[in-house]
Amino acid sequence: MYFDLTDEQQAIKATAHEFLAARYKSERIRELAESEHGFEQSDWEEMAGLGWQGLALPEEWSGQGLGIVELAVLFEEMGYALAPSPLFSNTIAGLALAHGGSDDQCERFLRPLAEGKLRGTPALWDAGSPATIGEFTMEARADGDGVVLDGEKVLVMDAAAADFLLVATADGHRHVVESGAPGVTVAPATSIDLTRRLYSVRFEGVRVAPENSLPGSDDEYFPVFHRVCVALAAESTGIAQRTMEMAVEYAKDRQQFGRPIGSYQAVSHRCAQMLLETENARSAVYGAAWAADAEPESLPTAASMAKAYASDAGWRVPDASLQVHGGIGFTWEHDLHFFLKRGKANAAMFGDAKWHRERVADAVLSAAGEPVSA
Amino acid sequence: MDLTLSPSEQQFREEVRGWIEANHPGPEPEAGLEEVMAFRREWQQKMHAAGWAGISWPKEYGGRGATMIEQAIFVGEASRLEAPSPANVLGLAMGGPVVIAHGTDAQKQRYLEPILTAEEIWCQGFSEPESGSDLASLKTRAVKDGDEWVVTGQKVWTTFAQYAKWCMLVARTDPDAPKHKGLTYFLMDMELEGVEAKPLVQITGEGEFNEVFIEEARIPDENVIGEVGGGWSVAITTLMNERAGLAFGAIAQVANGLKRLGALAAETRTNGGTAAEDPVIRQRLAQLYIEAETMRLNAYRGLTKTMQSGIPGPEGSLGKWQWADINQRMAELALDIEGAYAPLARGDEHAIAGGAWQYSFLRSRANSIEGGTTDILKNIIAERVLGLPKMR
């Protein structure tokens, strides 16, 4: 029993913390929020130098071969820094290829993705659909030896900067579509979150050659989904940690009625609540990350617990921080709103808290009668 | 990172589990505190004979010298298997460790063994009617007279005082010193003249706690633990031991409670189905499971940290706060599931689950008060973990 980061994991955390703190200061985040793609290519190349694109991808495809615990460490820091980067969407595409792709596809797409030379992103939700997890409406219409795609995908992260999209279809398959392919139109979406770019992508008679349709089906993507939930929950935990620290610092400095506002229990107890939620989120995230690496049979429930809890904490803690900050926290000039928005957007992605709680209810109620593990 | 038990820890767990399963005396008697105490005494004697009483105590004092993780395993298994509480829970968890840490050789010789055997039950005389959360303001006076201390005052919330031989009493010995400095820690014989315990009937109708009235009771000087005027730090040791020891038992109790709550939902008919099919009930149940899991994982993170640093940190306050909150909400959800049947209590033939949840609902109201109120815990977290300025 040892529930803490190892020295190697601490080193990854320290490197990420330092790297991201140096690059994503307030002014820079604001500049990138206004920029075309929302991130900087040179940062991407530096991240590749650190092996981040391939952190949790197999070594055989140029990845680092590390686990989901290490991935959670990295994404907690990404959230803490509020780093605007396609690293998350790219990681999802990488995990999906690693789980559902053929060797040939891994050679052509996963290796360069892991090396930071090609960027990929998943295209999952169909326009007008209820965006139910794992259910897609776009048909993969047979055409000769390949398929043809028609329709519109929404909520596609970082699509304009992606080299390829991993498009989900109703039959449970994923297809690699190069973003410049004929019939593909990428249009920016307007999101509350200014630090992660979303797009809608139209597909008009887009032909996918057979060698670009992944052999994997739903069963291969659920483990990917659960790992992605853990990474996103880790990011939300980082957001909670950072905004809690901002509140505590502000409560120490800000004077009203002749003393620091942090000496009032209405404020200090709110901060204590923020710590509780942040620490709970962190425990749930690392418990699930550990399960992904060491006890995969318990991952589905652990991942849902982590995503449910961190979905709530990831925006409630910034929200509480905003209240502690008072009026200044409501201004555009203050950075808090960027965190609140990212946290709220994260909460909605890949199953909201309610959806994941329902998964947990299902698991615990169907296990009723089995012995409880201590 | 490794959330599994090592082979030796696993072996320890098997040993604990095997022993409890082989010796479990069944459920506690339903009625009568006297019967319950007799039952718990017998259970503790069995534990002691097998070397399971005072497992955290060093071997030289009759304990087992168990590591923190072994203690966590033991408490967790005992709670999971719903083993009875030992009769002398305060002596084992607080009294013994305090005597071991602050007592003289003669005191160790005199007090430790009868704690382990449950021959002498211990109680705790800290809180007073006007000193609850502000413990250091306590007013019970002890005045030196020859080689005795003459003690006068009143204590409250004294668990099992009516069965206790010894009371861990904190009294003011120097009224002129600053409030934390003028206190001394005594062991008071509950049979002394001038000491009277009266049960305090609580909202469940039981008398688990007592008021203790002390009128010029004479405590011999040799019953002072630690230094005269050093009572506050001795008392703090007691409270730290209390908090650290309870966590893993509380976690296993919550796990058992959740299991029962799931079963209750599955068995309770409502709106043409069962409560387990009701989406609102499902959400609330899932949220409790999630929070119970975060509490369990926090405790393991805390344990890893404590094993590295050697001392439990103020973060333990988070766990006590969270436990109280979860325990209360579990009982609230149970009563909501029971619907119209919710008022029916123990003793009523139509009460669901024998009225167990009604009892939990009422008893758990104290969870956010006893052993440090949630409000005070938030102060501790704000000041000692987050470094926010003190209230005053």
Give residue-wise pLDDT tens across range A81-119: 999 999 999 999 999 999 999 999 999 999 999 999 999
- What is the Cα–Cα distance from B91 to B103, expressed in whole angstroms? 14
> Which is the CATH superfamily of the domain at B122-229?
Butyryl-CoA Dehydrogenase, subunit A, domain 2 (2.40.110.10)
What is the pLDDT, as a whole number, of residue B306? Answer: 84
- pLDDT in the model for residue B392: 58
Residue B116 has a pLDDT of 97
* B243 vs B238: CA distance, rounded Å: 9
DSSP state of A2: B
- Residue of A272, A305, A374 lying closest to B378 (CB–CB): A272
How far apart CA A20 and CA B380 sit, in angstroms, is 32
Taking an 8 Å cut-off on Cβ atoms, the answer to whether A372 and B5 are in contact is no
Contact status of B315 with chain A (Cβ, < 8 Å):
yes
Burial of B279 (0-12, 13-18, 19+ CB in 10 A): exposed
B82 contacts in A (CB within 8 Å)?
none
- Catalytic, B130? Answer no
What average pLDDT score do residues A31-44 get? 96
Single-letter amino acid, residue A183: G
What is the structure's pLDDT at A373? 39
Q: What 3-state DSSP class applies to A176?
A: strand
Q: What is the pLDDT of residues A166-207, one digit of tens each?
A: 999 999 999 999 999 999 999 999 999 999 999 999 999 999
Q: Is the Cβ of B236 closer than 8 Å to some Cβ of chain A?
A: no
Least Cα distance to B13 among B89, B71, B83, B82 occurs for B71
Cα–Cα distance measured from residue B109 to residue B33, given in angstroms and rounded to the nearest whole number: 30
- Which pLDDT does position A374 carry in this prediction? 34
**Chain B 364-383, CB below 8 Å of chain A: which residues?**
375, 377-379, 381-383
Q: Which residue of B has its CA nearest to A10?
A: B1
Residues of chain B with C-beta less than 8 angstroms from the C-beta of A358: 279, 282-283, 286
**Chain B residues close to A264, C-beta within 8 Å:** 391
Supply φ then ψ for residue A183, to 5 degrees: 95, -5
Per-window interface: B 275-294 vs A, CB < 8 A: 276, 279, 282-283, 285-287, 289-291, 293-294
For residues A131-139, average pLDDT: 90
Class at the top of the CATH hierarchy for domain B7-117: mainly alpha
Residue in A263, A287, A294 nearest the CB of B297: A287
> Would you state the pLDDT for residue B307?
83
- Using a CB-CB cut-off of 8 Å, the residues of chain A touching B80 are 372, 374
Inter-residue contact B183 to B141 (CB < 8 Å): no
B4 touches chain A (CB under 8 A): yes
Question: Which CATH code fits B234-385?
Answer: 1.20.140.10
> With an 8 Å Cβ cutoff, are B290 and A372 in contact?
no
Burial class (CB within 10 angstroms; exposed 0-12, middle 13-18, buried 19+) of A40: middle
Residues 6+ apart with CB under 8 A from A339: A82, A239, A242, A243, A318, A321
Contact status, residue A237 vs residue A305, Cβ threshold 8 Å = no
pLDDT confidence of residue A227: 98
- Amino acid B207: pLDDT: 83
Work out the minimum CA distance from A268 to partner chain B, whole angstroms.
6
| Res. A141: pLDDT tops 70 | yes
Domains of chain A: residue spans and CATH: 7-114 (1.10.540.10), 120-212 (2.40.110.10), 218-366 (1.20.140.10)
Say if residue A11's pLDDT is above 60: yes
Q: Where are the beta strands (DSSP E) in chain A?
A: 120-123, 140-143, 146-157, 164-168, 174-178, 184-188, 198-208, 255-256, 259-260
Active-site residue (options: B120, B128, B242, B338): B242
CA distance B151 to chain A (A): 36
CB count within 10 Å of CB B342 equals: 16
Torsion angles phi and psi, residue B178, rounded to 5: -55, 150
Residues 194-233 on B with a CB inside 8 Å of A are none
Of A4, A302, A372, the CB nearest to B305: A4
Mean pLDDT, contiguous 10-residue spans, chain B (392 residues): 92 97 92 88 96 92 90 90 92 92 96 97 94 91 97 94 96 94 96 95 90 98 96 82 71 93 95 94 98 95 85 82 97 97 96 96 96 93 95 68
Q: Using CB atoms, which residue from B298, B300, B378 is nearest to A280?
A: B298
Q: Which residue in chain B has the smallest CA separation from A255?
A: B389
pLDDT at B243: 62
* Nearest CB to B301 within list A4, A9, A308: A4
Burial of A319 (0-12, 13-18, 19+ CB in 10 A): middle
CA atoms within 13 A on the CB side of A111: 9
Q: Which residues of A touch B388 (CB under 8 A)?
A: 248, 251-252, 260, 262-263, 268, 271
Task: Tell me where in chain B the CATH 2.40.110.10 domain(s) lie.
Answer: 122-229
Q: What is the pLDDT of residue B112?
A: 97
Q: Please report the pLDDT score of residue A287 as a whole number.
A: 97
Distance of CA A151 to the CA centre of its chain: 25
CB within 8 A of A155, min separation 6: which ones? Answer: A124, A125, A131, A189, A198, A200, A349
3-state class (DSSP) for residue B63: coil
SS3 per-residue string spanning B84-97: CCCCCHHHHHHHHH
pLDDT tens digits for range A252-306: 999 999 999 999 999 999 999 999 999 999 999 999 999 999 999 999 999 999 9
B250's tokens: 């509380």
Chain B residues closer than 8 Å to A291 by CB: 3
Across the interface, whether the CB atoms of A294 and B300 are under 8 A apart is answered no
Put simply, the answer to whether B382 touches A271 (Cβ < 8 Å) is yes
> Looking at residue B246, what is its pLDDT?
67
CA-based nearest distance B1→chain A, Å: 5
Please report the pLDDT score of residue A133 as a whole number: 87
pLDDT per residue over B273-324, tens digit each? 999 999 999 999 999 999 999 999 999 999 888 888 877 777 788 999 999 9
**Integer Cα distance of A123 and A210 in angstroms:** 18
Which residue from B minimizes the CA distance to A371?
B259
| Cβ neighbours of A288 (radius 10 Å) | 32
Angle at B252 between CA A68 and CA B79, to 5 degrees: 145
**8 A C-beta contact, residue A98 and residue A62:** no
Closest CA to A52 of A32, A30, A81, A29: A81
> Is this complex's ipTM strictly greater than 0.90?
yes
Q: Is the Cβ pair A268, B382 closer than 8 Å? A: yes
Which residues make up the CATH 1.20.140.10 domain(s) of chain B? 234-385
Structure tokens at A203: 């597909």
- CATH 1.10.540.10 in chain B is located at 7-117
CA distance A87 to A75: 9
B387: contact with A, CB 8 A cutoff = yes
pLDDT band at A231 (very low <50, low <70, confident <90, very high): very high
Of B251, B290, B321, the CB nearest to A305: B290
SS3 label, residue A144 = coil
Which is more confidently placed, A67 or B208? A67
Percent of chain A with pLDDT over 70: 98
Q: Do A309 and B382 touch (CB under 8 A)?
A: no
